[in-house]
Amino acid sequence: MTKVYMDNGATTPVDPKVIEAMQPYFSEVYGNPSSFHSFGREGRNAITEARDKVVELIGADYTKELIFTSGGTEADNYAIKGVASALEAKGKHIITSAVEHHAVLHTCKYLEKRRGFEVTYLPVDEDGLVNPEDVKDAIREDTILITIMMANNEVGTIQPIAQIGEIAKEAGVTFHTDAVQAVGTIPVDVNELNVDLLSLSGHKFNGPKGVGALYIRKGTRINKFMHGGAQERNRRATTENVPAIVGLGKAAEIAMEGLEQKQEKLVSLRDKLISGIEERIDHIKLNGHREKRLPGNVNVSIKYIEGESILMKLDLAGIAASSGSACTSGSLDPSHVLLSMGLTHEVAHGSLRLTLGKYNTKAEVDRVLEVLPKVVADLRSMSPIYNG
C-alpha cells in the first residue's frame, strides 16, 4: 500500500541534505564546543555558522539575539517565564489569545495558578483571528507581556502580528510570538513584525526534532531559563546539541533558498485539496481563514461523524492526518481552538486536519480526494445523527 503523509503540521521528514550536514557532528567533530582545543573549536564554528543561517532566515540584526533551545516548547516557556520573572516587580499581567498552542497556554496557566499573574485570554473571531484593537484595549498599566502566535497549528490562521507588534511597541510592552508553524514556511522578519521575542522549531520545516530557537531582541529584559554553564552567552546552560543545531542551520538555509517555491507549491496543493473536498463532500465546513492561512493547512469539520474514526479509516488506507476531536486528545473536550472559534462541540468533534509539506505531490492529493469521500460516506451510514 502506498502511504501518504499529510500531517506535516505535527512534524516533517528531515531533508536528506540536513542529515548529510549533521552526519559529521556525531563521531568525527564531536568536541565539546566549550573546550579550548581544536575539537571544541570545530564544534564552536559549526554552531556559529548555524546561528548565522537562522538569524538570516528571520531577519534579525545580531547573531547574539538568537538562543538555541530544545524546541518550540522550550522557546515558548523561556520567553514567557523569562519575561515574567524579569518584570514581575513592574507588573503581573499578561495578554495572550485563546487559540495558542499548549506550550504557551499551559505556561500562562501555570503563571496564573502558581505565581500570582493575571492573564487575559483574548477571544478570536470565527476565522480564528485576534483583533488588534482587542489587544490595545486589554493593555493595562501592569501589562508586562503580550504573547500571540503567528500562525495557528490547527487551523492555519495567520495573525496580524506586525499590527499587534506596533501596538505593543507604542505601549512599551514586550511582545512575543510563537512562530513555530510559520518559520521556514512563510516569510518571517522580526523587524517587520515588530516582535521582541520569537519562537521557532526545527522539526516543523524539515529539520531535526529536539532543536529550536528563541529570538531575543537586543535590550529585552528576560531572565535565563537554564542555570549552569556559560553556554549560549550565559543564557542557556547545557552542552550544545551540535548535530541538531547544525541540522537546524541547514534546514534554515534550505528553507530560505526555497521559500517562494515551497509556498507556491503548498498553496496550489492546499487549494486543490480544499476545493476537491468541497466538491465531493457535503455538510462540511472549512475551519480557519480562507486566505490568511498557512500554505499547507487544510482543516475541515465533517458534520455528523467523529474525528478519530475518520483518522482510523484514513490510516487503514495509509493516509496520515490529525483531528481536533476529543477522542484523539485523551480528554472529553474537543480542540480549544475550534471551540474558541465558535464551533459547537459536535462540529468540532468532526474536524480533520491535513497538513501538506514540501514532499507532498498532486498524486497524493488525488489519492486523499479518492479515499476521503468513501470514508465519510461509510461513517455517515452508521451515524445516528445523519439523515441522508
Partner 1 sequence: MYTDKVMDHFENPRNVGELEGADGVGTVGNAKCGDIMKMYIKVADDKITDIKFKTFGCGAAIATSSIATELVKGKSVKEAQELTNKAVAEALGGLPPAKMHCSNLAADALKKAIDNYLGLETKNECEDHHHHEHNDFDHGCSI
Ligand X SMILES: Cc1ncc(COP(=O)(O)O)c(C=O)c1O
Considering only 2, 331, 363, 388, the residue that binds partner 1 (CB under 8 A) is 331
**Least CB distance from residue 257 to Zn ion, whole Å?**
44
Evaluated on CA atoms 339, 201, 94, 292, the torsion sign reads negative
Query: What residue number has its CB nearest to Zn ion?
Result: 327
- Contact between 102 and partner 1 per CB under 8 A: yes
Q: Which grid coordinates are listed for 31?
A: 568536541
327 in catalytic set: yes
- Contact between 308 and partner 1 per CB under 8 A: yes
User: The cell 573549536 sits on which residue?
Assistant: 41
Binding to Zn ion (CB under 5 A): which residues in 69-128? none
Q: Which grid coordinates are listed for 39?
A: 575539537
Task: Give the three-class secondary structure for 83.
Answer: helix
**Least CB distance from residue 80 to partner 1, whole Å?**
15
Q: In this chain, which stretch among 84-92, 176-184, 280-288, 341-349 interacts with ligand X, using CB under 6 A?
A: 176-184
Query: What residue number has its CB nearest to ligand X?
Result: 72
- Contact between 286 and Zn ion per CB under 5 A: no
Phi, psi (degrees; rounded to nearest 5) at 114: -110, -15
Q: In this chain, which stretch among 59-67, 236-244, 270-278, 329-337 interacts with partner 1, using CB under 8 A?
A: 329-337
Between 204 and 289, whose beta carbon lies closer to partner 1? 204
Cα dihedral: 59, 222, 180, 141 (round 10): -100
Binding to ligand X (CB under 6 A): which residues in 144-163? 149, 153
Each residue 332-361 as x (binds partner 1 by CB under 8 A) or -, in order, gives xxx---------xxx--x---x--------
Q: In this chain, which stretch among 124-132, 212-220, 225-233, 376-384 interacts with partner 1, using CB under 8 A?
A: 376-384
Q: How far apart (Å, rounded) are the C-alpha atoms in residues 88 and 128?
A: 30
Question: Nearest Cα to 116, choosing from 144, 138, 137, 135?
Answer: 144
**Least CB distance from residue 114 to ligand X, whole Å?**
21
Residues 39 and 31 sit within 8 Å (Cβ to Cβ): yes
Residues 252 and 53 sit within 8 Å (Cβ to Cβ): yes
- Contact between 72 and ligand X per CB under 6 A: yes
- Contact between 293 and ligand X per CB under 6 A: no
Cβ count within 10 A of residue 183: 28
**Least CB distance from residue 324 to ligand X, whole Å?**
13
15 DSSP 8-state letter: P
CA distances from 41 to 26, 29, 109, 187, 290 (A): 15, 10, 42, 33, 49
Q: How many residues in total does the chain contain?
A: 388
Q: Which of 138, 226, 320, 327 is catalytic?
A: 327
66 DSSP 8-state letter: E
DSSP β-bridge partners for residue 151? 158
- The type of residue at 2 is T
Residues 244 and 213 sit within 8 Å (Cβ to Cβ): no
Q: Where are the alpha helices (DSSP H) in 122-188?
A: 132-138, 161-171
By CB under 8 A, how many residues form the interface with partner 1? 40
Task: Give the three-class secondary structure for 209.
Answer: coil
Q: Which grid coordinates are listed for 175?
A: 511582545
- Contact between 312 and Zn ion per CB under 5 A: no
119 DSSP 8-state letter: E
**Least CB distance from residue 7 to partner 1, whole Å?**
8
Between 18 and 379, whose beta carbon lies closer to ligand X? 18
Phi, psi (degrees; rounded to nearest 5) at 248: -65, -40
Q: How far apart (Å, rounded) are the C-alpha atoms in residues 93 and 276?
A: 45
- Contact between 327 and Zn ion per CB under 5 A: yes
**Least CB distance from residue 318 to Zn ion, whole Å?**
23
**Least CB distance from residue 307 to partner 1, whole Å?**
8
**Least CB distance from residue 242 to partner 1, whole Å?**
27
Binding to ligand X (CB under 6 A): which residues in 84-143? 101, 103
Between 72 and 276, whose beta carbon lies closer to ligand X? 72
- Contact between 19 and partner 1 per CB under 8 A: no
Between 60 and 80, whose beta carbon lies closer to partner 1? 80
**Chain residues that interact with ligand X, rule: CB under 6 A:** 71-73, 76, 101, 103, 149, 153, 178, 180-181, 201, 203, 212
Q: Which residues are catalytic?
A: 327
**Chain residues that interact with partner 1, rule: CB under 8 A:** 9-10, 101-102, 106, 109-110, 153-154, 304-309, 312, 316, 322, 324-334, 344-346, 349, 353, 381-386
